[in-house]
Structure 1
């Protein structure tokens, strides 16, 4: 049951995370805001997410893991209700903080729990559920009568999740995770491997986000694909990412995390080369192949967190990695946007650079590498 709840939670937190961009064109008309006003929402959400992922063990030590998860899902449900009834734009900005606090705690807490209690297959399935939620969010918006109804529909989904988490608070094995106050005070050991792990998570999620956000523009303007074809390729990227987590998680369960991580970086290198060729067929294939390559990397880095720090501080390091994931995604997407503003072909350069950094990070962290 707990694994099913983890899947539901990751599916649910993806819905509001990816919904704003789809509802914004109609939402901004309701509030008489310019198109660029959405950028004000993002910093507040990111700051709240980083705060939540970095401090979740402090809260869990006092509430307990089950109560933390139930309260976080309930907080997101409340935020969705407020958004649906929002009378003004500033309410949406304020709700971004609530969403960040909620999703950050769920992300870090469930990743830490999964790293201790789930194998490679289940942790990849958990992250695949997030991808499914991200794919379903635009469909919910387009099927709704208005953006307010879209928020109410997602609120109902998360309300069900909140009830399920509330009635299962005692079933979470809190002794298997760092919710003891003494464990919560432990600090991740400042080793080279721990630092490299944080940087690698930031780079990997940056690569994942850059490809997902900017591939359409690159394929449309640099490769000169038709809009419908470019959109289909980007959908293929996200489908490959979800499928890769489902399929490669099972492979990692049998072969081990590190062979899959090494293999994924090799495939990512091939994908980056195909994208850099700028050929229509090769670039399109490269984007889809990149989705398959990056799919298992972050889940397996979470799974191997304990290899990079002391056991007592592994949960905190998982939280810091979740924060690094958020910062990496936002930072590298912004950098790629600036590069592509000068030359849209810079997308291929950004993908190649991030891929090389990912390969380097995996090489440093691989079993048998010098420990620091």
Structure 2
């Protein structure tokens, strides 16, 4: 029964990823159809992400009152209806209206399912859960590319994705009783995997202060900010960069962006296995270095095929970072404050998704979309810098703790 419910949760995360990549790959055609400026996509994306932030901040109280199953069902229904609204939208104003429930529904599902899996299933499922988000984010551009290339119709792409979402809504409706049954019967502890003996351990003094006063929390929040800034910016503006700078057809650009999401998907599937052997800290660092190398390929004036390699490398690099940073939170800052700090981190993550892609769109509208790779390089570098600064800070705290312990022993 627990395995069957886990399959349902994975399907829900596929549906969560499906619409995330649609706007970016469809925008070169949508922009022409609606006759609006390039930066309008950034404003739409900001509207969706804004709704996600609001529902994420409110998700704690909502989940406690109604339960994860009910919230997931209603939120999936909202996203399915919003995607159907995109299909029928007669003007860009209607896109903005439909973007509100799309964001509100996605945020509640994301927060609820992450918390549910972290509480009721073993920790390596976190990487696989986000791997299935990548499955949805990969399939979305592929479906959209078929309609763009065959019928030059982005709206039919949204119709098909909406149909898939409604199918999930039906499945969720008939499996609602399983959620409460699983919650009552689960005895699995959080983070069951063995701890890395060389890993960073939080300072015990953190138990006695408020969450935001714990050293390193703000650096962790900045890391989440830039991570989601990179991930969302790649997805939203990657296709426009390939079409306008590398002069690729819109359908081919959409397929290349889907390979970026494939990199995230495959990387997270592999990460689920290697977390047993390699620490979260090492995986985060390796992912950031790979992402930086891929972003550099986009920045250099090489033939278009190198851009494809760059997109895949950035996707593979980003793969382990988000789930590993989430899983590392209790170890870094203690279990007492981990739930609160997790909320702060998610809020900053969605802030990165909300403001960084539109910021690039605004700058590009005043200059050129050719600044896209430069911004990606800067965002990845900032994420790497904040992450490594956090590692060094926690390492110093641990060394100081050991030194004090040794002094007390003598």
Partner SS state of residue 287, structure 2: helix
The CA deviation string for residues 127-151 of structure 1, in whole angstroms up to 9 with x for no partner, is 2222222232244345567666544
1:111-130, aligned counterparts within 5 Å?
A: 111-119=114-122, 121-130=124-133
Residue matched to 1:370: 397
- Other-structure match for 1:160: 167
Cα gap change, 1:74/1:251 in structure 2, threshold over 3 Å: closer, same or farther?
A: same
- Report if aligned partners of 1:80, 1:155 keep a CA contact under 8 Å in 2: yes
CA distance in 2, matches of 1:84, 1:234: 22
Over residues 288-322 of structure 1, what are the superposed CA-to-partner deviations in whole Å (9 max), with x where a residue is unaligned? 32221111101211222223445355344434433
Query: Does residue 1:169 correspond to 2:176, yes or no?
Result: yes
Rounded Cα–Cα distance in structure 2 between residues aligned with 1:64 and 1:136:
29
Structure 1 residue 107 displacement after superposition:
0.9
* Distance of 1:89 and 1:152 partners within structure 2: 17
**Which structure 1 residue ranges, 5 or more long, are not aligned?**
178-186
- Tell me, in whole angstroms, the C-alpha distance in 1 between the residues paired with 2:291 and 2:29: 37
Alignment partner, residue 10 of structure 1: 13
Match of 1:197 in 2: 220
Where does residue 76 of structure 2 map in the other structure?
A: 73
If you compute each CA radius of gyration, which structure gives the higher value, 1 or 2?
Answer: 2
- For the structure 1 residues 345 and 155, does the alpha-carbon distance in structure 2 shift closer, same or farther, using more than 3 Å as the test? closer
Aligned to 1:334: 358
- TM-superposed CA distance for 1:59, in Å, is 0.5
Deviation at 1:104, TM superposition (A): 0.4
1:359 maps to what in 2? 384
Aligned equivalent of 2:248, options 201, 218, 227:
227
Q: How far is 1:122 from its partner?
A: 2.5
Task: Give distance in 1, aligned partners of 2:32 and 2:374.
Answer: 37
Kindly indicate whether the alpha-carbon contact (under 8 Å) linking 2:46 and 2:358 is maintained by their aligned counterparts in 1.
no
Quote the Cα distance in structure 1 between the aligned partners of 2:107 and 2:279: 28
- Deviation per residue, 1:161-182 (Å, 9 max, x gap): 22332333343344779xxxxx
Q: Which whole-Å CA distance do the structure 2 matches of 1:71 and 1:88 have between them?
A: 27
Report deviation, 1:99.
1.1
Partner residue, 1:297:
321
Shift of the 239–82 alpha-carbon distance from structure 1 to 2, 3 Å rule, reads closer
Q: Secondary structure at the match of 2:384?
A: helix
Aligned-pair CA distance for 1:47: 2.0
Of stretches 167-176 and 262-271 in structure 1, the one that deviates more from structure 2 is: 167-176
- Structure 1 residue 11, shift from structure 2 partner: 1.3
Give the C-alpha shift of residue 195 in structure 1: 2.1
SS at match of 1:304: helix
- For 2:402, the equivalent position in structure 1 comes to none
The reply on whether 1:104 has 2:127 as its aligned counterpart is no
> Root-mean-square deviation (CA), in Å?
3.7
Q: How far is 1:156 from its partner? A: 2.9
Structure 1 counterpart of 2:407: none
1:311: which partner in 2?
335
The answer for unaligned runs of 5 or more in structure 2 is 189-208, 399-410
Q: TM-score, normalised by structure 1?
A: 0.79
Which residue number in structure 2 is paired with residue 184 of structure 1? none
Contact in 2 for aligned 1:5/1:165 (Cα 8 Å)? yes
Q: CA deviation at 1:49?
A: 1.0
Farther-moved stretch of structure 1 (121-130 vs 48-57): 121-130
CA distance in structure 1 between the partners assigned to 2:244 and 2:146 by the alignment = 30
1:98–1:221 distance in 2 versus 1, CA, 3 Å = closer
Normalised TM-score (structure 2): 0.73
| Partner Cα distance (1:288, 1:7) in 2 | 23
Check 1:320–1:166 CA distance in 2 against 1; reply closer, same or farther (3 A cut). Answer: farther
Provide the secondary structure at the position in 1 that maps to 2:397. Answer: coil
Q: How many residues align?
A: 360
Residue 188 of structure 1 and its aligned partner are, at CA, apart by 7.5
The counterpart of 1:209, out of the listed 217, 224, 232, is 232
Shift of 1:329: 2.4
